């Protein structure tokens, strides 16, 4: 844990001193700065409110709507949590998309071809 602290400190110092981003961010978020999302400090994950400044849950649920027997495979409106699933439960800004998967795939073999991370 100490090592993690040192790295975090180094990242903060580096970020502050050079203006460079401490972490890679997704290409569609180019231009955003740390404080645009990190509403709970750099050591914490952002709250949902941060994502919802720009995104709307109902719009997302509509955009990812599925028909027929796949109705409840909608990642933004599902049978277990409805629309209450926090964004960062599935989406990560700084991780490479190939290193993680949506929460649903912990138990189901649904297909989420459009999931970009």
Phi, psi values for residue 110, rounded to 5°: -60, 160
Q: Does 15 bind another protein (CB under 8 A)?
A: no
Of 97, 100, 89, 99, nearest in space to 116 by CA = 97
The correct pick among 51, 60, 76, 78 for binding another protein (CB under 8 A) is 78
CB of 12 to another protein, least distance (A): 12
Name the residues that contact another protein, by CB under 8 A.
1, 23, 40, 42-45, 69-70, 72, 78-82, 84-86, 88-89, 92, 94-95, 99-100, 103, 105-110
């Amino acid at each position: 844990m100490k090592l993690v602290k040192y790295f975090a400190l180094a990242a903060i110092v580096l970020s502050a001193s050079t203006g460079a981003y401490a972490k890679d961010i997704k290409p569609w978020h180019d231009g955003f700065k740390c404080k645009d999302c990190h509403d709970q400090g750099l050591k914490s994950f952002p709250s949902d409110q941060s994502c919802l400044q720009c995104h709307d849950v109902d719009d997302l649920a509509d955009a990812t709507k599925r028909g027929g027997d796949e109705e409840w495979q909608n990642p933004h409106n599902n049978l277990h949590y409805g629309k209450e699933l926090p964004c960062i439960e599935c989406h990560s800004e700084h991780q490479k998309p190939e290193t993680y998967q949506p929460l649903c795939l912990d138990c189901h073999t649904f297909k989420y071809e459009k999931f970009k991370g």
